[in-house]
């Protein structure tokens, strides 16, 4: 799904309370951490890689990545960086 407007509408329909556009600098990498919220994101430009446990999601434009709340993970951007549209679903 590459249409950002449709992706945002689908996030809202699925109960994601917050959407954020993120510019991730080229080569950025975050050490292992977790979030209190569930994540569903769409890569708009570049590459974005999330690794959680033994699962690696290496996503390019138009691809969707997911991450359950509380899962420890790392994040990295490709050599050209990435632009993301990210939905966050906070626990009830």
Domain ranges in the chain are 4-89
The pLDDT score that the predictor gives to residue 64 is 96
21 forms beta bridges with: 85
pLDDT surpasses 80 at 2: no
Q: Is the pLDDT of residue 16 over 70?
A: yes
- What is the token pair recorded at 6? 């449709």
- pTM score: 0.92
Q: How far is CA 17 from CA 1, 11, 34, 57, 79, in A?
A: 20, 8, 18, 23, 31
Architecture of domain 4-89: Sandwich (2.60)
With cut-offs at 50, 70 and 90, classify the pLDDT of residue 18: very high
């Amino acid at each position: 799904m590459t249409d950002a407007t449709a992706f945002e509408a689908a996030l809202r329909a699925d109960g994601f309370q917050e959407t954020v556009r993120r510019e991730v600098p080229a080569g950025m990498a975050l050490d292992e951490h977790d979030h209190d919220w569930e994540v569903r994101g769409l890569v708009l430009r570049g590459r974005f890689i999330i690794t959680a446990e033994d699962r690696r999601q290496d996503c390019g434009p138009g691809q969707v990545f997911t991450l359950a709340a509380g899962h420890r993970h790392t994040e990295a951007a490709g050599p050209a960086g990435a632009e993301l549209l990210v939905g966050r679903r906070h626990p009830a």
